Structure 1
Amino acid sequence: MTWQLVVGVVVALAVVLLISSVRILREYERGVAFRLGRLRPALGPGVRLLVPGLDKLVRVDLRVVTLTIPPQEVITKDNVPARVNAVVLFQVTDPVQSVMTVENHAVATSQIAQTTLRSVVGRADLDTLLAHRADLNEDLAQSIAAQTAPWGVQVNVVEIKDVEIPEAMQRAMAREAEAERERRAKIINAHGELQASEELRQAADTLSRSPASLQLRYLQTLLELGADQNSTVVFPLPIDIIGPFLGKLPQLTEIFTNGRSNGTPPPREEPSDDTQASAERDGRG
């Protein structure tokens, strides 16, 4: 009876030891085992047996980790204060190095990302930070990856999420954008006036070759004026009608001026019969 009890206790202990020595690693996990402090080869996914009390297992996740960098107070190259935050996507490519070379690869990557973000943004001006964010993202990814590569950590993506600038700077940028829009509008208006003048010049050249077309255009203008119910009527006179009168105006002016200079009195008007009769009645009175 005693030996049966001993056998039962031994079997129970063996079962407990067997259960405690079994480790199950998922497909996205790798195991780094140490036996009496000595590094063993990395363990793949599946059921793994370890010696209780002698082996220690460290699980390493190989999935992509999303790391949010908190807002950082930075000063750009043109001395503009800003708050910048970003997101970093990284994953472990060498589980042994991620355990052997750094205490906590996630915390270390976060700290490196924060310092690199402040450094890279500090070398760029505000316009580059707002308009050329893709170049800054690439520079950030290369700088962070160069420092995390010895840890067995691969940085895949670094994206600047948000850039906060002071309200005074936002108002100044709004005024600058408005002035730029007005400048473009004036340039477009000037180009339109130039093209319109060119078209009018070509139309005038075409009409000058044919007097009949000019007369038709004149009649069409009169028709358009008569179609509207306006209180004011503008009646244009063609230049070919008043042209002869304008040509003789200097001659008439010269004749009148020469007559006054020679002392010739202007022609006197003879009084009419009604005027003489009125004067006689006034004299009798």
Structure 2
Amino acid sequence: MFRVDIREMLVEAQPQMIITNDNLNARVDAQVYLKVRADEDNVKASVYNVANYKLQIVNLARTTLRNIIGTLTLKSANSERGRINEELRHTLLSETASWGIEILRTELKEIDPPEDVQITMNKVVKAENEKVAAVDFATATETQADGQRRAEIKKAEGTKQARILEAEGQALAIQLVNEAAEKYFIGNAQVLRKLEAVERALVQNAKVVIPADTQLINVIGELAGVAPIPLVPKAAASPPDRK
């Protein structure tokens, strides 16, 4: 009489060295989850159709892994673990169909290259990361420089606009002066030159002596908003008494 465990169980495929398609020795380890089907026929099959199904599963899994990974490069094997697991499970299901067991799932635990290859791969990955970092830094620097350039352009445009406005203001002031000159001094250029001299003297905070020219004083008073002070003639001297 045999006692058969129908619970889910784990079988270790044990690590092995497999030569990949790019001639690298990879250390591969996997595990298989299985159970005996819970009916009388399958329980009998697990006992009478196969001798030690656990050991047979281990040997079959190892052989299947060599066949699958031997067709792949090391890089492909690491990036296609899902496909390898599925192909391994499908092969085990097919080969153990008469054993009364069910292959639940398979898992690759590791696909490791030799130590010297791993060191080289790490250097390559590090170099790639440094390259990406350098590109990102260069891009950031270029973006910063572009921002500074745009700021300088805007500043220059602002300065240019301010100068234009200042020039327009000066032009308008000149126009107003010309209009005032035409209004008040048309035909009297000499009086205009005198007024300009007075203006320059006032700007320079100089002492100015203005002649008692009624027309000039009236003009200055009108421009300055100050009424001219009329001149008071001196009283005539009284003749001496004659006795």
TM-score range, shorter-chain basis? 0.5 to 0.7
**Residue 125 of structure 1 is aligned with which of 73, 81, 97?**
73
Q: Is the 8 A contact 2:28 2:110 kept in 1?
A: yes
Q: Is the 8 A contact 1:207 1:213 kept in 2?
A: no
Trace 1:68-83 onto structure 2 (pairs within 5 A).
68-83=12-27
> 1:210 matched to which residue of 2?
158
In structure 2, the gaps of 5 or more residues are: 163-243
Q: Is the 8 A contact 2:27 2:114 kept in 1?
A: no
> 2:127 matched to which residue of 1?
179
- Percent identity reads 30
Per residue, is there more strand in 1 or in 2?
1
Trace 1:6-155 onto structure 2 (pairs within 5 A).
57-93=1-37, 94-155=42-103
- For residue 106 of structure 2, give the secondary structure of its aligned residue in structure 1: strand
Residue 98 of structure 1: how far off its partner (Å)? 1.9
Instruction: Rate the CA distance shift 1:197–1:71 in 2: closer, same or farther, 3 A.
Output: same
Distance 1:99 1:201 in 2: 82
In structure 1, the gaps of 5 or more residues are: 1-56, 215-285
- For residue 126 of structure 2, give the secondary structure of its aligned residue in structure 1: helix
Letter in 2 for 1:195: T
Letter in 2 for 1:171: I
Letter in 1 for 2:130: E
Structure possessing the higher radius of gyration over alpha carbons: 2
TM-score, normalised on structure 1? 0.51
The answer to whether residue 118 in structure 2 is matched with residue 170 in structure 1 is yes
The answer to whether residue 141 in structure 2 is matched with residue 193 in structure 1 is yes
Distance 1:173 1:213 in 2: 60
Letter in 2 for 1:90: L
Count of equivalent residues: 159
- For residue 13 of structure 2, give the secondary structure of its aligned residue in structure 1: strand
Residue 91 of structure 1: how far off its partner (Å)? 0.6
Letter in 2 for 1:84: V
Residue 76 of structure 1: how far off its partner (Å)? 0.7
Provide, for residues 183-240 of structure 1, a one-character-per-residue CA deviation record: whole Å limited to 9, x for no partner.
10121012112212321232123212211899xxxxxxxxxxxxxxxxxxxxxxxxxx
- The answer to which structure, 1 or 2, has the higher relative contact order (CA under 8 A, 6+ apart) is 2
- For residue 96 of structure 2, give the secondary structure of its aligned residue in structure 1: helix
Q: Which of structure 1's runs of 4+ aligned residues deviate more than 4 A?
A: none
